[in-house]
């Protein structure tokens, strides 16, 4: 990293800020609950009360902040704001070591990849082939985590991809691998679409839906997928409709109430993970609250939601572009709206499809070993191309 604008970054939270958070938690005004509904109408009040009590009295943010500080973290000004990123070198330098940029989604940040980074940089220490090591870059998107919110309107996935491409230039990486899930899947897609000479191969956990114009030429499998996606949207998509249309209205309450913020995020961690309805099968309380506390301390819930509004305005012509860069997909069983192979073939230069046995939307965090192996298996044939 030769660019002098790059500065090491370590977060240090003022104890007074933590004291304020705990006071707000203890002063929560709880809603009424119409009977024993559990998670049926949203976040379960009994679980949230339990989480709130732990957050207010036992959660050690200082220790969690110290754990995150073990990752090599930096910030650099790009596009009018500072991008925060993890830059973890491979354990052993070799010609086969290729830089890999990992793109997160919502509701998270670089947190999504915090458990998998050591497995990718030092596979030999985790029972895998040392030759499969990556140099790993994990940026927070603008308006997420410790990256600055955009000045003015939110950035869409195309604009974020441009900033990430510039970040890779700043890091002296002319060619690299890209991977992502959720919004990060879209960002890595646009990295491949707009920088095919630089992105050697791209791995994703999901794929966009067909846009008008494509829908007259779909297979039966693809039509069933669309029907299922519409049903999922009707039952589970209220959050996304709010983000796309009136994110600022929700931002007032979620920025002011830590329990409200936790309810908004925790319900998605449970619904989208492979936890069988028991959220702590996938995430401990400390892990959940690390994610939520990053949002609370950085005040980024509003700016993160506004990206949905920006993405809703992307022209259909952009959404219908075919990815010609070699593409791979790992479709985890508990992820949402899993695409059929016919759509992957239609929309990408498909070279790899895998269906792991466990994991959901947050597989890099839920199942880091499985996710790391997926990336090793897909990218391995392209290492010589990338280093040549």
> How would you classify the pairing of strands 98-103 and 134-139?
parallel
In whole angstroms, how far apart are CA 90 and each of 25, 97, 238? 41, 7, 41
Q: Look at residue 1 and tell me if it is in a domain.
A: no
The residue-averaged pLDDT of 233-247 equals 96
DSSP state of 208: P
Q: Among 120, 115, 116, which Cα is nearest to 100's?
A: 120
Burial class (CB in 10 A: 0-12, 13-18, 19+), 255: middle
Altogether, the residues listed in the chain come to a count of 388
How far is 354 from 356, CA to CA, in rounded Å? 6
In a 3-state reduction of DSSP, which class is residue 45? Answer: helix
Residue 144 lies in a domain: yes
pLDDT for 1: 60
Quick: pLDDT tens for 52-69: 999 999 999 999 999 999
Percent of the chain at pLDDT exceeding 70: 96
The pLDDT tens digits for 16-42 are 999 999 999 999 999 999 988 999 999
| Whether the predicted pLDDT of 340 surpasses 80 | yes
**Residue 2 belongs to a domain:** no
Catalytic hit among 156, 182, 206, 335: 182
Structural domain contains residue 94: yes
- Whether residue 332 is contained in a domain is answered as yes
* Domain extent at residue 154: 7-387
Is there a catalytic annotation at residue 361?
yes
Tell me whether residue 382 is one of the annotated catalytic residues: no
Question: Exactly one of 146, 239, 295, 308 is catalytic; which is it?
Answer: 308
Count Cα atoms within 13 angstroms, Cβ side, for 261: 30
221-240 average pLDDT score: 93
Strands 81-88, 134-139: pairing kind: antiparallel
Label residue 256 exposed, middle or buried (CB < 10 Å: 0-12, 13-18, 19+): exposed
- At residue 217, the pLDDT reads 83
Catalytic residue among 195, 243, 361, 371: 361
Q: What are phi and psi of 92, to 5 degrees?
A: -130, 130
Residue 22 lies in a domain: yes
Say whether 201 sits in a helix, a strand or coil: strand
Spatial distance between the Cα atoms of 184 and 203, rounded to a whole number of angstroms: 11
Look up the CATH number of the domain holding residue 60. Answer: 3.40.50.1820
Write out pLDDT tens, residues 291-323: 999 999 999 999 999 999 999 999 999 999 999
Nearest CA among 141, 337, 156, 140 for reference residue 243: 156
**pLDDT tens-place string over residues 159-195:** 999 999 999 999 999 999 999 999 999 999 999 999 9
- Cα 173 from chain centroid (whole Å): 22
Domains in the chain, number: 1
What tokens does 49 get? 């009360």
Better pLDDT: 94 or 69 = 69
199-213: pLDDT as tens digits: 999 999 999 877 765
Distance in angstroms (rounded) separating the CA atoms of residues 153 and 374: 36
* Residues whose CB falls within 8 Å of the CB of residue 142, separated by 6 or more in sequence, listed in order: 79, 81, 83, 148, 149, 150, 155, 160, 163, 303
Q: Please say if 186 is a catalytic residue.
A: no
């Amino acid at each position: 990293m030769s660019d002098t604008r790059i500065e090491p970054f370590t977060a240090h939270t003022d104890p007074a800020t933590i004291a304020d958070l705990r006071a707000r938690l203890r002063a929560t005004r709880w809603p009424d609950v119409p009977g024993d509904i559990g998670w049926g109408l949203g976040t379960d009040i009994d679980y949230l009360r339990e989480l709130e009590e732990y957050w207010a009295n036992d959660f050690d943010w200082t220790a969690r902040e110290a754990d995150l500080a073990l990752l090599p973290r930096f910030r650099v000004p790009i596009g009018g704001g500072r991008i925060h990123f993890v830059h973890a070198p491979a354990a052993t330098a070799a010609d086969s070591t290729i830089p890999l940029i990992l793109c997160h989604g919502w509701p998270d940040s670089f947190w999504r990849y915090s458990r998998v980074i050591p497995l990718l940089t030092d596979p030999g220490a985790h029972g895998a082939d040392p030759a499969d090591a990556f140099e790993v870059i994990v940026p927070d998107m603008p308006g997420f985590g410790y990256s600055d919110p955009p000045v003015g309107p939110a950035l869409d996935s195309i604009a974020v991809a441009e900033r990430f491409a510039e970040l890779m230039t700043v890091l002296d990486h002319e060619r690299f691998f890209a991977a992502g899930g959720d919004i990060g899947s879209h960002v890595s897609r646009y990295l491949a679409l707009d920088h095919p000479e630089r992105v050697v191969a791209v791995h994703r956990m999901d794929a966009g839906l067909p846009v008008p114009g494509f829908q007259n030429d779909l297979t039966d499998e693809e039509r069933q997928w669309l029907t299922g996606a519409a049903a999922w949207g009707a039952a589970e998509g209220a959050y996304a409709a709010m983000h796309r249309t009136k994110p600022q209205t929700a931002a007032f309450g979620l920025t002011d109430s830590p329990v409200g913020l936790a309810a908004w995020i925790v319900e998605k961690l449970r619904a989208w993970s492979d936890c069988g309805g028991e959220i702590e099968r996938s995430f401990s309380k400390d892990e959940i609250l690390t994610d939520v506390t990053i949002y609370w301390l950085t005040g980024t819930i509003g700016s993160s939601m506004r990206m949905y509004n920006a993405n809703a305005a992307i022209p259909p012509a952009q959404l219908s572009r075919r990815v010609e860069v070699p593409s791979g997909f790992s479709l985890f069983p508990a992820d949402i709206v899993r695409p059929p192979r016919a759509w992957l073939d239609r929309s990408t230069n498909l070279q790899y499809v895998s269906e792991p046995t466990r994991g959901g939307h947050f597989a890099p965090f839920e199942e880091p070993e499985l996710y790391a192996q997926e990336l090793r298996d897909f990218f391995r044939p392209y290492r010589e191309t990338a280093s040549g």
